[in-house]
Structure 1
């Protein structure tokens, strides 16, 4: 199972199909059958997935005893070695486990008891960086256990310091590009690029660079997993890189943001493939027809911010109408009231989640001479 942000399931399913994997979408994930080679390629290539999980067991669950028995039934002795460290992560909800820490302890106890019974030793726990991370998925009346093959979330591409908080995850940024139909052949412009996540992800996609090429994965430490496929996939991927067919441009007024964006592009290995410009959105230069203009503008979530952003949304809409006829503007919008200030009519609206915040990803065709005010 590959997990993803809600709203990206169909995009993730299409990514898996390109890897030769058939799957079935469910809320926040895609379930699929795969070989170890496909698991390796999924971790390396999937742009919208958060984690790739291997199924262990599932069953009905009304409380502690059934969860313990299910976890005890897993043949942990075939998966764990003496020096291996473990951790249990819980996702989902269940009435009997309002405290998810308790559910994690039940699974951990069952795992330890089985290992003592079958191997005579107790595995060590490492919450931060375990060799094997067990994922317990809870839902009403049932539960399932998985092994996390990815380790750190796949959004951790390796080009941004993890302590740096970006307003958009790498997986969601890639998802926006794919939902907008980007295939690497159209010009791309982010007029308010901030720290550059959308631009960097566009460059990775356009250059056919796998998003995971600069990081490692948890399954590489597993003696029972085949890792030579990953080495082969990395070599093939690097040999298949290409230059983007059209310009990829990031633009922002804040020099500090552009400095961060440049650092991210350099760390990702795509600094030579993108162009950065400093400028106000009101001073947008002429944009070639057919350009994909895509950005994640501020939402005005905090009290008092919305009024300050009304002018920004109007300025963005006016600038695009003046300078980008024949292009399409895509906005990730977390505030429907601000969306009305753009002054363009959306032809498509896709519901997504940026973290816990419900958003709409809207497409606005820019028609020659269109200066319509209001309504989105």
Structure 2
């Protein structure tokens, strides 16, 4: 079977590395032969591979960087909408799902000659519905919010490819993150960034602006070998309980994955493979718990000046099934210090866009109206979940572009604020004074950040945080020379 694994823009290389690692797991190798496509040299929004159908279960359970796992059903040349109808109606949909299940169809395109994607979507939907009605005598209902089955099609200038979505809800929805801070960061993007930094569980990790804890929780789950899909796979007795401040419904084991609602995956043989994959993952988790019995042993810590965000972090940590409480405290980033007796480590942070908490101070005080407007704009601008959605602007993507432009405008206004400029200068000096020997990584949409910190970056990696084009800057902090040694 052919798969296309979707990821955030800029994470194709880490995703290809992760897929190779998953394919080498003994329980995954037992499923059959995996052949991963060459690593893309330009942005593709994902990585393709050939593998047994059972690989869909392993990928949805184990991939931290993937947004979705798409199973290719057909690919063919096309010239007009009627060609799409013929392609979709010729597929045996009745072998994959029943007419009693609800359906959603999405179409994306890159240089397609068709004038209307909406009409193309309608033709594919009609083809699927007509096929099921002809075969079963009944037709499925359409549900664009919470469908049982998702079908995706991608159109190039000459070819159409039709996929079944084996993920269902996007994979960044782990089932634990129901509270967020002021710089929203999707979990799979955080995991991909951790991969880029080269951080390993044996290293100290610190986030002085941790917010709701996305970086640190993803790192802790990596260290403890907790699969990103563990909650959705029902690997815990009880699902995480949402807080009263939940900003989006938690995905639970009741939602599961899209493949669990497809007929081939409900056959006895596939069910046994699914149980074996979960058993192998559980055994690995138990071994890692011996190595890291509590939160202190992980060497992962953070801080934030906002007391409310620190409380959010603690709640998310517990919902992520991590041991005890996280090592964190309410503290200004300018007063943060390395964990005791640690001379080298990795610092990773995603400063809040717009209004910077660290220069406002206070114990979780309310933001100004401008900050709230900025966050509202960001919340409405979700990352495209398909590989080429950004290539053809629709009404929804136009709204994303407007949000992105408003964010840039607010950011430009802020950068002229003397307090903001002074904070960056002070924070850069603080890094030089207190974190010598550390590697510091900062995700930001501010391309001029190195100059404002007055530190030369050693590397910059282009990424997309939702609709925002960002850079992951790496700063190598050198140890300060001892003055006594200089006098000699």
TM class by smaller structure:
over 0.9
Match of 2:319 in 1: 267
Match of 2:36 in 1: 23
Alignment CA distance shift 1:278-1:154 (3 Å): same
| 1:170-319 alignment runs, 5 A limit | 170-215=187-232, 216-225=256-265, 226-241=270-285, 242-243=288-289, 244=292, 246-272=298-324, 274-287=326-339, 288-300=342-354, 301-303=408-410, 304-308=413-417, 309-319=420-430
**Larger strand proportion of the pair:** 1
Whether 2:475 is the aligned partner of 1:364: answer yes
Alignment CA distance shift 1:153-1:339 (3 Å): same
Once the two structures are TM-superposed, the CA of residue 165 in structure 1 deviates from its matched residue by 8.1
Q: Give 2:186's match in structure 1, choosing from 169, 174, 179.
A: 169
Whether the aligned pair in 2 keeps the contact of 1:281 and 1:315 (CA below 8 Å) is no
Distance 1:5 1:365 in 2: 26
Alignment CA distance shift 1:107-1:94 (3 Å): farther
| 1:32-71 alignment runs, 5 A limit | 32-71=49-88
Q: Give 1:9's match in structure 2, choosing from 7, 12, 15.
A: 12
Structure 1, unpaired ranges of 5+: 371-376
Distance 1:75 1:95 in 2: 26
Cα deviation digits, residues 195-247 of structure 1 (max 9, x gap): 11111111111111111100121111222112332322222222212244641
Match of 2:368 in 1: none
Aligned-residue RMSD, C-alpha: 2.1
Distance 1:163 1:330 in 2: 21
Once the two structures are TM-superposed, the CA of residue 93 in structure 1 deviates from its matched residue by 3.6
Whether the aligned pair in 2 keeps the contact of 1:135 and 1:146 (CA below 8 Å) is yes
| 1:144-159 alignment runs, 5 A limit | 144-159=161-176
Q: TM-score, normalised by structure 1?
A: 0.92
SS state at 1:269 partner: coil
Which of 72-81 and 17-26 deviates more?
Answer: 17-26
Cα deviation digits, residues 119-146 of structure 1 (max 9, x gap): 2221222222222110111222222110
Once the two structures are TM-superposed, the CA of residue 257 in structure 1 deviates from its matched residue by 1.0
Q: TM-score, normalised by structure 2?
A: 0.72
Cα deviation digits, residues 259-300 of structure 1 (max 9, x gap): 111111110011527311211111012352221100111344
Distance 2:6 2:347 in 1: 28
SS state at 1:36 partner: coil
Distance 2:182 2:74 in 1: 35
Alignment CA distance shift 1:143-1:314 (3 Å): farther
